[in-house]
Amino acid sequence: MKLTFALILALQVSVCVWAQDWPEPDKELVEKYEGLKAVFLKRVVNAWEKTKETIQPALESSSTGGQAKEFFEEMQKRPRVESAIKIMGGLASELEPVVDKARMALLGAYGYYLRPYIGEHLDKAITNIKPVLDTVLPHEG
């Protein structure tokens, strides 16, 4: 009962916060954000692939790695795991519009309230860190 009450209260507070009108983000800011997000995701995917390529031979040669691989393959075949994956996938697709709305609200708030004060400094910081990231975590394979 207490948990239900806390959940309802939290949902009401979150609805009240998001119910107010937030400023619309500039088209240029949204495009810049989308570009940075795409490059970041490419960096993460490339890092994951390189890590997987490095670790996979070591895991396949060890007995523990083989057992772990068999365990995960067996877990994926279980009906409960399959249904949990389907439920999480459905939740992700259902929450996507809410996440997009929240993202646009945050970008609008940033563009309206913070960008005039910290936008130039943040842009310089991003520009200065790109060469380091290109060396450490490249976005192109």
Residues 109 and 33 sit within 8 Å (Cβ to Cβ): no
The CA-atom distances, in angstroms, between 98 and each of 7, 15, 19, 56, 91 are 18, 11, 12, 37, 11
Q: How many residues does the chain have?
A: 141
- Residues 47-76: what's their mean pLDDT? 81
Better-predicted residue by pLDDT, 15 or 98? 98
Residues 114 and 25 sit within 8 Å (Cβ to Cβ): no
Phi, psi of 67 (to 5 degrees): -65, -40
Q: Is 60 exceeded by the pLDDT of residue 16?
A: no
Tell how far CA 116 is from the center of its chain: 26
User: How many CA atoms, within 13 angstroms, populate the side-chain half-sphere of residue 75?
Assistant: 8
In 82-125, where do the E strands start and end?
none
Q: Is 90 exceeded by the pLDDT of residue 29?
A: yes
What's the CA gap between 47 and 93, in Å, rounded? 26
Query: Alpha-carbon Rg of the chain, whole angstroms?
Result: 22
H-helix or E-strand containing 96? helix 79-109
Please state the domain extents for the chain. Answer: 38-77
Q: For a pLDDT cut of 90, what percent of the chain falls above it? A: 41
- Residues 16-44: what's their mean pLDDT? 86
Q: Is 70 exceeded by the pLDDT of residue 51?
A: yes
Q: For a pLDDT cut of 70, what percent of the chain falls above it? A: 86
Q: Is 90 exceeded by the pLDDT of residue 35?
A: yes
